Amino acid sequence: MGKNNYRRRRAPKDKPGPAGFLVVDKPGGMTSHDVVEAARGWLGIRRIGHLGTLDPQATGVLPLAIRGATKLVPFLQTAEKSYVGTATLGMTTDTLDGEGEVTSRHEGALPEEADVVKALEGFKGHIEQIPPMYSAVKRDGVPLHRLARQGEEVEREPKSVFIRRIEIMRFESPEVEIDVQCGAGTYVRTLAHDLGQVLGCGAYLSALRRMGSAPFGIQDAHTPEVFEEAAREGRISELLVPPERALGLATLELAQPAITRIENGGDISPGTLEREKPGTQVSALDQTGRMVAVLELRADRRLWPLRVLPA
């Protein structure tokens, strides 16, 4: 009986299928975890990762790593992001967005567009940001948003982030729509709040859409409804972005003996890559086109596996 009970408690095996990335156009109102759970249902698997969460009210690009592609997340999660966001001038909230309680209201005239343009110049390049209390950053293992909901506020260390581009797309006071390209880990909510502080009128982020999470753009994304329909029709694998395309590395086709050696942690001859610089990385494919591993050319002029994808 004990053995039978154990079998009943075991999680079902994942359905076999290709590795790759699903790029979801997340709707407002869904958490990133909601999207992951939905994708598990579409694919009949548990092994799914994501490349950076989106706030529930935010929409746009949420790439999911499927099956063996979860091993490639470290190669992509630090890539730059791009957003279109709306900052509403004249008020601040405790969450720095439209979901929170209003904490202050500005009395008097709001800044002109020229003032906002000038203020945004100060946010370009490397800047310091203090993570918001309503965030997943942890203090002693506890997410800040949990402490915030208990009415606590703790001191947070500022962190350096990089803003490549921040420009006005639309100015209809009190709303300022901005186009932002930034490094991973940037809080656009904090950008909106800090802009309001510089302008002296306060501001909060009232809308946010992620347009890209490199190398994926909104043109690669599909809504949950599209994925659900594809799953019902048995063609959801057609919507996967192949892992080698996502990485954007040169590809190298290998015969089975070399693949077996790589899968056992061994190195192989670099072939035509011998004259490349040490540190050069390639995506290794088998003869059917399936990605097998990420290989790196080392100083000993041999190709060594950095990541091996399960068969």
The secondary structure of 145-165 as a DSSP string is HHHHHTT-------EEEEEEE
Residue 25 appears among annotated catalytic residues:
no
Measured CA to CA in angstroms, residue 113 lies from 28, 200, 203, 260 at distances of 28, 14, 14, 62
Q: What is the dihedral of CA 18, 20, 25, 27, to 10 degrees?
A: 70
Cite the DSSP H helix spans in the chain: 2-9, 32-43, 73-76, 113-121, 144-149, 188-199, 224-232, 243-247, 256-263
Bridge partners of 294, per DSSP, are 283, 307
Quote the CA–CA distance of 204 and 198 in Å, as a whole number. Answer: 13
The alpha carbon of residue 291 and the mean position of all alpha carbons in its chain are separated, in whole angstroms, by 22
Place of tokens 């050696």: 261
Q: Are 163 and 82 within 8 A, CB to CB? A: no
Quote the CA–CA distance of 65 and 175 in Å, as a whole number. Answer: 35
Quote the CA–CA distance of 124 and 182 in Å, as a whole number. Answer: 9
Please pick, among 25, 55, 97, 267, the residue that the annotation labels catalytic.
55
Quote the CA–CA distance of 246 and 216 in Å, as a whole number. Answer: 8
**Residue numbers annotated as active site:** 55
